[in-house]
Structure 1
Amino acid sequence: MNGSKETQDLPVPDWRVLVVGGASGMGKTGVSRALARRYGVPVVEVDDLVEALLAVTRPEHLPEIHYWRTHPEAEHEAPESVVVRQIAIAEALAPAVAAVVANHVGTDTPVILEGDYVLPAPQGPQVRSVFLHEDDEAQVTSNYLHREPEAGPQHDRARGSVLYGRWLAEQAREVGVPVLAPRPWADLPGRVVEAVERVTST
């Protein structure tokens, strides 16, 4: 089948996996969906990968992945402690994320992979990455309030997100992955495309 004209008119990505990383509340999901519409490719959320692992493993198998469920009180720890835990979870999840990436490269099926627990890695011709980071805690608090108004202002969560985001941004810059500010929201998808294309041309 040749597909619809609408599908044929979509730009063809020269990557097979586009990683959109960053801490929670940075705008990853929104921009990933916009990019998915632009390229006509699906989005894989790392949160779904976490849920799958939680369903088929026990805490003794993957204690870091199960940590929030086995230690619900930990969510109320100081933001700095939460960040240490988030990093540990991301590192434990890294082999599973790498397997998903390798599968899409190997099967030649383009996908956008987004999530909090994706660690920055050096880019290649088939895998491109962009990390989002908002360093304004008040803005991240506002983002959470807009997304989850029933929870009220989540100041500690926003603080932890900014701290984790700073760590991710540092790791990204060390391996040459572009780090973008989410705002202004309106042109974020275009800025992601430009950043990815800039990597291609260098």
Structure 2
Amino acid sequence: MRTILNLFILSVCFFVLFALFGIPISFWIEDRGISTILSFVYAALITYFLGRYLFKKEVKRKIISAKDNAKTEKPIKPFSLGGFSNYRMLDTMVAGSNFQNEDGLHRFHHIRNIEEFDTIVLKREPENEFDPNAIPVFDSKGENQLGYLPRKYTRWLGKEMDQGRKVYAYYKRTLTQGDYPIPVILIELEI
């Protein structure tokens, strides 16, 4: 609904700006064709930047909403930009990134090799002795473990994965304020 309202506002702004710019430009430039073209260009540019601002604000609002929902154990609401998406999104930190892997290297050595928006592999680990719902997080090759998803998300996300839902994960950034780096990932669940 907001998207339609924003489009309506932009179209009204364009026509108002077109009319407003047409008056002063016609005083400076006597050729009516050139003044009309300049009025159109100015109105289009201002409308374009206003549209970018409005839609950027809408995307930020939806991302903040997704982050707020990530604090609960319940599945988050569908994230869509203008109703065109079939995904639920989750932005979360990876737990256990300060431990060593079986190869003897600390996980943060592997975290250093990951770049923004690299694919992350999530696998179920039902044989985990501490948490049968555990979902370890691996690099794009699925070889080096980076940590685990926080326990509060694993129950419902594990059920979704077991039902065959497609889950995509991407590396977002690393938090470096503590003693060791903590990776932050973005998870998309197809609904």
Name the TM tier (shorter chain). under 0.3
More helix by share: 1
Q: Output the TM-score relative to the length of structure 1.
A: 0.25
More strand by share: 2
Q: Output the TM-score relative to the length of structure 2.
A: 0.26
